[in-house]
Structure 1
Amino acid sequence: MPLEIVTVPCLSDNYAYLAHDVATGATAVVDVPEAAPILNALSARGWRASHILITHHHGDHIDGVPSLAAATGARVIGAAADAHRLPPLDEAVTAGDTVRIGMCRGTVIDVSGHTIGHIAYHFADSGIVFTGDSLMALGCGRLFEGTAHQMWDSLCKLAALPPETLVCSGHEYTQSNARFALTIEPGNAALAARAKSVDAARAKGRATVPSTLAEELATNPFLRARLAEVKTALGMQGAGDAEVFAEIRARKDRF
């Protein structure tokens, strides 16, 4: 059976995720901005956290890890390359390693760019990828540590997953991302429709994540840097894909 996913709002605009294996009762928490909302969500469902999966070292993704681990005894998993700046790890993983949540198996993907050592967790049988601040709904993370080429390579890895994959990302940035995306592709009908849907969801206080990879491929300008129509819109015909991505990222930084 696929993992059951619960999106947990934290802080002002962060999300954590519960990933529950119904067959065994094992429950992973992906990123822990703060412990209290996660403990409340677990308690409301009668679940206990068995694992904590960390995507990257930023405080708004790890500050609640010590409290949650102490309260639940959950096994803490994170990138070996980032172990020196993460809470103590019970398991340090690298790209290609397998993570098990009950009967469900996930694969670790290196998605450096936002930070060096950022990882994603892809649970192929459940059709889910936890991307943290790499691929986001209608966006991608700012390049705090990596290069544009690194981030583009990371996004290409994620873009190659099955289009029906559910993308579980770490923030509620989708409205502002949509406004920016429309400056790149104002004639993209799918993007315009999605922007309206996002506005309606936020007006009702609903989360706009997870999204599907198919939605991102159709509307996310950072995944669309390879397309001729995007290059033409930017006046960058003939430019390399990573160069076009870098220009889009630079424009978003100034937006």
Structure 2
Amino acid sequence: MAKADVTVVLAHGAWADGSSWARVITALETEAIKVQAAPLPLTSLADDVAALSRSLDRTEGPVVLAGHAYAGAVIALARRARVKALVYIAALAPDEGEKVADVFYRLAPHPKAPKLAPDDNGLIWLPEDAFATAFAQNASAEDHAVLAAVQRPISLNCITVPAGRPLWKDVPSWYLIAEQDRMIVPETQRFMAERMKATIRTQAVDHTPSVTAPAAVADVIREAVRSVSGN
């Protein structure tokens, strides 16, 4: 069991909120691992980093940050103090000077990937049917309904600004590659993970394994926690 002094802070991606981590949270807390889910506004990359910092301010001791999808860019810009490891769950990892959109659109999309466009407010919503066809195709109909109902749109300001120096250049990182991902091409995930020199774990899971394969996600996070705690 991991030491209780390590806190795991989870960051949700686009079209999701903290509830997307529910099954991972319960899996980790059965082992007495402290967990928080950071609420991100998805209004700009800077706003999301600031929101994550506020969540970090509520913790004490060493921290393991885990990000899903877009939130990979957010956790990489967190303050260095006390962050001892990063965990990427099918997540985007732009390098310094790159935009989130640069890595998201690096390769041709999956045939079932949704066509995305901003509305009049500059916000991108995921079409409701995309939760079943691309976002979490392995989830139940009940999960699809919840994911669609609680989705948060992402602003163009999150994906069109260059990122700063990423924290993965300075702290150990883990990366769960989702082989069945229809939102972020698995080959792009591997490219980013190898560029980061991350510890790579590969699973036959969809884009949102926190919902559809929480045990696999918890295993990777647990590995990072044990590395930090020495257990």
TM exceeds 0.5? no
Q: TM-score range by the shorter chain?
A: 0.3 to 0.5
- Structure with the higher strand share, 1 or 2: 1
TM-score, scaled to structure 1:
0.32
TM-score, scaled to structure 2:
0.34
The structure with more radius of gyration = 1
